[in-house]
Structure 1
């Protein structure tokens, strides 16, 4: 009998006791509920058919379960340079309310009404593009790579939103379904991994407890370097730059 078979036969009280025992053993070991060994992955402009990890490795596919997905918006007063460690002038994560780093509220309160979120503001009057750049940042638990933070560029946001919406239409949440995430010619696509086993109830309980830690890391690092998938060659909806 597998551990999955065992837990599915437990009563709610037995399941709670089982989980409490696991938590107690972790406390005794001095470990966190979820020890993150975060590997950042971003698009490599030189090789648009590979994801590039921060350890230098390159991957055609990232397979795993998306634990958390966050919206990220960034704004730079000067053009972002790939590899730069400079924080953006304004950063908003999740609730799309102007970040604390925005200088004195200069760019508006919420992203929805900020003038930098209007088409044509990129590069001071460019015909298209927004000065404020939008991304998605995914926290993925991958059997191959471990915990992965993957930045999705603005050109692929629609693909992620379509996948998440499609799953909701079938009564599923994205964290209940194993996925294969592929990049081709700089565009990211998502598909259900039919060959992988879906997370068990115990798996989902563990992921739920780790979400807060995932979110905290994403919010801390979303505006740094390539953690949110920024690429000097990818202007997206404006590249997060208001030209001077």
Structure 2
């Protein structure tokens, strides 16, 4: 296990130090991809004392992690398919995110109007939202409320009034996805992880027994090529995950 190095700012200067370290050290864990999955894994590993390095070909969070719906939701739609475990886990994680990142994750109310002759029926919506509250252990910002037509239109004047039976009001959460990714990356850095962005993985290296022992890395800013070695390599490249897998000569497409 590695000791946490002295604090240094998360900056361009720190990046240059990290590039220099790539070819000088053997790491416990090398992570390919600097989206939210990669930086969160780097943070977790660094906090556990593992010597961790992360390589990102562009900016942190510039891929899928910066193009999400920005919702931290409990998965209410999955109740219809009886995926109760998934909804419970999602509600639990929503609660955790609101606790650990309150300045980035904020409550957002939803108003769901229901109309005569259309699905779902009010009783079914109420039952579903009561179950949704229960899946969140009744610890969301507020439990759901049923609004009569007049109150629903007062809160949202633009909804159609003809045939309106009422509306359900419930909460999920919204997040600044790119900022969450960057904040997590900074936390990983502060706990000793070596993070390098604008660095492209150009190939995988194998040991004498055929195991992956690292990657060849090209610094996109100055063209420097280095070999980064690690005991374990993790691919969190998002939509480019297969591009990385295809660098492995043993990859069979499965």
TM range (shorter): under 0.3
TM-score in terms of structure 1 length: 0.22
Structure exhibiting the larger radius of gyration computed from Cα positions: 2
**Greater share of helix:** 2
Q: TM (normalized to structure 2)?
A: 0.21
